[in-house]
Amino acid sequence: MAILTIRTLGDPILRSKATPVTAFDDDLAQLASDMHETMHAAPGVGLAASQVGRLVRVFVYDSGDEGERGTLVNPEIVWASEETEEAEEGCLSLPGTYYPVTRAIAVKVRAQELSGAPIEKEVEGFLARIFQHEIDHLDGILFIDRLAPELRKEAMKALRDQDFGMSPPPRAKASKTL
């Protein structure tokens, strides 16, 4: 097992869409194991493969409740409740950044287990929020993208002020030497 490097805002991989997993092998199991270790060490409650530099559709989660931890491969939301709830979210890829995000209070997710076996999970509350957040990562979406326009503008300014890799690159100075 190994603790992996968590990519932070400004890394283009976080804005990339992950590809489906096709090989359910020891490498996938090792990735999931390393992701669980990384998530717990951070500490966090969810971690998508893209956050550790792997563009595959895998995420791990641990809500802290007994039995509410695991790995989902190739997840997709097949149903979301019309009822929503606003709650503060953070992200391991945006350390120290927290904003209120509106999400469905319940979702049904179709995915695969590490073995490749199909699975469906209907979850609500905090676990539904985790699933939506992590699936967004797999689609190149960060939680700040879900903010209301004015709040998003405020968040982006705050993140630029923290220099989360969002500053434009310095301009090269013209050389007078020929």
Please say whether the beta carbons of 123 and 109 come within 8 A. yes
**Cα–Cα distance, 167 to 154 (Å, whole number):** 16
Please say whether the beta carbons of 163 and 157 come within 8 A. no
Indicate the DSSP class of residue 8: -
Query: Nearest-CA neighbor of 31 among 15, 6, 64, 54?
Result: 54
User: Which residue is catalytic, options 76, 134, 150, 154?
Assistant: 134
**Cα–Cα distance, 148 to 111 (Å, whole number):** 30
Please say whether the beta carbons of 24 and 72 come within 8 A. no
Is 134 in the active site? yes
Integer Rg of the chain from CA: 18
Catalytic (active-site) positions: 134
